[in-house]
Structure 1
């Protein structure tokens, strides 16, 4: 199947493509390694979290990686973090949710596809009613990829935090619905919260102060609640703790 145009009017074909799309894992690893050389995040862990994460990944666990959204460079910081952490094991087997307008430019889309991205049509851009059906299908595709053994990376705030990057914006139930759909398919994903801080001098989503970010990887959370809103509340609390760690360690 050829790459369909990423547009809301075409969302059925879009998600049919990303249901099965698999990037070249070697190229993905090379890209992640290159991003680490450029961004070099300073990674710290909650006590015991690194060993726990390594053990989970060796056992075949699938992750939902939740990271806070501060700048337009966060996906690169997260990729660089993956290369220099136990997450290297799942490079090439991780889907990354990314806003649909990033897929318009052919060159950027090629890079996003190589990184394992799946487009998200946001109500912020298209309106709540317009994206309802596409959103449900996106969550189904994400859950299906988890069932197949992929991990998933999400910025659950949905948009860059331009107010106070030390305090998470409200996380809605979307991440919870994805996790619940995965459970309904017979897989129990593990939440991994990753906090990112670019320091007190980073101003706005286009700040140039994105090198050597402070990144804090929290304790893996394997026992998520059963209801989507309860899952979202757990993510809110757990990810805020990771953000606090990243800010404190900057």
Structure 2
């Protein structure tokens, strides 16, 4: 009974936590072109008391070679690998993640006290290409909003976006040819007239398929039943079979 009564205040306390805090995202994403290159804009990363933030380059497969932190008086920097200038006896510098942690301000002679500082990161790709990233680090006393910043290679994803496969294009064209063939058979048989509204809607159907819509979407847009399309394809196929039989 005591355990049950003790658990009630804890449950109520947890229930009173704002939903925005519970559901706060852990990872913030920044596109590569937003932080590096001629089109980049200086991205601000907040560092909170007792809440470290990591900057990850794992997603883009680049290796961190060197970093500069202009004002180390209140932010400590660490990496998951050794870097020249930060670690002694670093024969093979390289890392994939930077961890930032806020500390109580330390007075360093010659460094003015500011609310923000600049972090510069030099990376190298597997092909040997080097890139420079710049981030504005700002100390914050508000509620932490994320614990990791992930750099995403948006350019690479656009370049490697899946393209329509040749086999799919061939199949689409075959379907269009079958529908057209069925329309020709229906017109010759007197079931459809070229001046009819139905003929116009069938031409719109073919146009939607050519534009990339699947059969279901195209039939809905053109107000043509799937059953009619199937019958037209069957008419074309039967006509082809008859022609092949006569040629034999």
Q: Same fold (TM over 0.5)?
A: no
- Given the two structures, how large is their TM-score scaled by the length of structure 1? 0.24
Which structure has the greater CA radius of gyration?
2
The structure where helix makes up a greater share of residues is: 1
- Given the two structures, how large is their TM-score scaled by the length of structure 2? 0.24
Task: Indicate the structure whose relative CO is greater, using CA pairs within 8 Å and at least 6 residues apart.
Answer: 1
The structure where strand makes up a greater share of residues is: 2
